Structure 1
């Protein structure tokens, strides 16, 4: 039981009807989860408006309502609290309800279009190897020490974030690394959290179905750094043209990293192979098991963050050499006698796909062909579809367009949107195969010994969402099975 007025601390109240000096059981924004004595926070969401469920929440036992507008009729013995922004109020209420756990551990947020999952996960790995108890909030999974939970969003809702942070605090976790999405920032899910540091990776075409313009997307990312405290560090990639924008108004300690520009932390790629990278970081050489220039950026960010969190320089380099690639991020196998290389990568934005294809181009001998399988998600930003197809068809010997997660859309329509980006000279090297497993099978049949197959878009995901139903689907498992069958 918590006192309502204590939970509402920092929630910027506009008006109150009733008493806030009452005890409540818990805070909820889903009316279906309301029980007797709870607080219901009415959120105006993208799918439904919580204000439509206020009466339902009261009928289920809610004794307090937090909302952006009072209902026409008020129930007796119920406290109504008016706030300007319910999302923001919920974030502060969640932090207060769970005792502000982010104040008691070192929380680092990673934001940007690409690289968030890799950086967060590898920082978790590195600090765990260094002997610390560590937490992770990522797209792939949530980790509290060694305990693993399923992730449903890149950045969970504020109640979920604080619940896991509270569990981490109780479990003795010292550091937590968290992906911070533009949706999460815009919907105020990270308000009320105390960050020890923030990392900016890069910014490219993504989520314009939600943010409407690139400048809005950029400014939402920037607002995360604007709110970092003076005690935190703000680490940004200044090889990205938006890197310095992130630092414009922050009061945090400003730090930069780059491969091409003078920065506080610099790296140079000395060797690049399928087996790994030889990097020179601030005049020290280190061999790492990860692949590609995009991972050189990720590793440099990890190095800088670890140093600023108190680890010793040489210890960080030693631990970096032991890091393993993240699930679905340039994972590859080399198949039996044919020596066909199959790569699975989460690249689902134009920039990410371009980076993966550049990495393969840098490593390959050109005596082999590169076959790329790629799709685009349904009910998402349509403008990137032709761009993805253009990149795949212009930088591969064969490009196969197929389904990703079509969701409620017809996958044929999605593929037709993609095909519009193919230039005439590339028509003959493209195929369209609606069924994803069939597309992977055709790629494997087309591949000759030593060829490379890139399966892009889904990465770590183990499902395919079609018409609201999730079906088991694992790119890596499927390509392994098909290649094994063909190698018999």
Structure 2
């Protein structure tokens, strides 16, 4: 049990009805999970307003209500606390509840449109190989040292974040790397956390269904750096046109990385192959298994972060040569017939363009590039024609198919994608509604030396249609196709 007064430290409070000197059990924002002596935080969600469930929470045993408005009858023996922002209050209370674990060991946040998962995951790999106990909070999974937990969001809710940070401390974890999404920042999930450092990757078209405008999306990302303490470092991709803007108002120590511009940490690509890349960083050559210019940016950020956290440069570069690609990020398999299939999470126009340009850069010119791609339902519709244009323009054959339609009609999504195909590219596009069949079609079209890109889902192990999730994994599907074709 905790004392409510202690949990409210640093929370901006407007009104209090009842006593704050009471023992409380847990913090809860889902009324269905409330138990005796819990604090219920009523949040205004995108689709649901938690204020509608205050009475239900009290009936289940909540003794404290945190809310932005009191539009209900107050009950005897219940403490009501009105705040300006329930999301921010929850985040600060969650940090207090777990005794502020982020302040007790280095926590580094990674934000940007693309590269968050790769950078956070490879930093986990690097520090793990250097002999440290490491934590990871990512889209793909949560790791507490080497124990894995399922991830449900890029940036989890505030209670979950602090729970795992606290667990990491219990298990002796020495460093934690976490993805920080624009949704997470906007919904104040990272409020109350103490970051040792922040990394900016890049900014391109994404999440405009949520943020409405690109400038709003950009400024939400910037908030993360605005809130870093003086003791932290802020590392930015100076080659990105928003790189300087992100650090404009930060109090943290500023550092930059780049491939093109003068920067504190600068890398140069010397040689590219399907098996990896030879780079030079600060005049030292190193081979990496990572492929593509976008991944060399990621790698440069990783090297810079490791140095800023005190690792020795030559040790960093030695480990960098051993790092494996992250699940669903330019992950490839080769069939017995010599067809290469690449699975990548590329679900934004910029990410898809980067992957296809990388493939075209390392191909000899005789191979066909066949791209299987779709767009998610109930998400930003404006990127659908852009994705289709890029796929059809940079591939020899583009197959449009379902991604996660969710509650939308799959054919409607594909119709919107097809609007982006220019007349000269129509002949090299196909529409195959069923994703499994689309992957099979790509495998049947491919011959020795050809390259199949299956984009959009990457590491995901499910497909969501009409709100129902079924097991589906792109790498498994293409591997099965290769095996079936081999056995014919």
TM-score, normalising length: structure 2: 0.99
Q: What SS does the aligned partner of 2:334 have? A: strand
Q: 1:466 aligns to what?
A: 465
The equivalences for 1:249-328 within 5 A come to 249-328=249-328
Q: 1:374 aligns to what?
A: 373
Instruction: Tell me the distance in 1 between the aligned counterparts of 2:282 and 2:466.
Output: 50
Q: 1:399 aligns to what?
A: 398
Q: 1:224 aligns to what?
A: 224
Deviation at 1:282, TM superposition (A): 1.2
Instruction: Tell me the distance in 2 between the aligned counterparts of 1:35 and 1:486.
Output: 55
Q: What SS does the aligned partner of 1:383 have? A: helix
Q: 2:347 aligns to what?
A: 348
Q: What SS does the aligned partner of 2:192 have? A: coil
Q: 1:21 aligns to what?
A: 21
Q: 1:167 aligns to what?
A: 167
Q: What SS does the aligned partner of 1:136 have? A: strand
Instruction: Tell me the distance in 2 between the aligned counterparts of 1:12 and 1:133.
Output: 36
CA deviation string 1:169-188 (max 9, x = no partner): 11111100000000000000
Q: 2:237 aligns to what?
A: 237
Q: 2:122 aligns to what?
A: 122
Deviation at 1:72, TM superposition (A): 3.0
Q: 2:382 aligns to what?
A: 383
Instruction: Tell me the distance in 2 between the aligned counterparts of 1:175 and 1:141.
Output: 16
Deviation at 1:431, TM superposition (A): 0.2
Going from structure 1 to structure 2, the CA distance change for 1:72 and 1:484 (only over 3 Å counts) comes to closer
Q: Structure 2: which 5+ runs fail to align?
A: none
The equivalences for 1:15-94 within 5 A come to 15-94=15-94
Deviation at 1:457, TM superposition (A): 0.3
Deviation at 1:71, TM superposition (A): 3.1
Instruction: Tell me the distance in 1 between the aligned counterparts of 2:274 and 2:296.
Output: 14
Instruction: Tell me the distance in 1 between the aligned counterparts of 2:321 and 2:482.
Output: 31
Q: 2:150 aligns to what?
A: 150
Q: Structure 1: which 5+ runs fail to align?
A: none
Extract structure 1 runs of 4+ deviating beyond 6 A.
Answer: none
Deviation at 1:70, TM superposition (A): 1.3
Instruction: Tell me the distance in 2 between the aligned counterparts of 1:65 and 1:150.
Output: 30
CA deviation string 1:9-56 (max 9, x = no partner): 111001100000111011111111110101000000012000000000
CA deviation string 1:318-374 (max 9, x = no partner): 1111100000000001111x1000000000000000000010011001111000000
TM-score, normalising length: structure 1: 0.99
* Aligned-CA RMSD value: 0.5
Deviation at 1:487, TM superposition (A): 2.0
Deviation at 1:449, TM superposition (A): 1.1
Q: What SS does the aligned partner of 2:346 have? A: coil
Q: 1:100 aligns to what?
A: 100
Count of aligned positions:
487
Instruction: Tell me the distance in 1 between the aligned counterparts of 2:317 and 2:486.
Output: 40
Instruction: Tell me the distance in 1 between the aligned counterparts of 2:327 and 2:476.
Output: 12
The equivalences for 1:131-146 within 5 A come to 131-146=131-146
Q: What SS does the aligned partner of 1:47 have? A: coil
Whether 2:191 is the aligned partner of 1:191: answer yes
Deviation at 1:381, TM superposition (A): 0.1
Q: What SS does the aligned partner of 1:195 have? A: coil
Q: What SS does the aligned partner of 1:192 have? A: coil
Q: What SS does the aligned partner of 1:108 have? A: strand
Q: 1:478 aligns to what?
A: 477
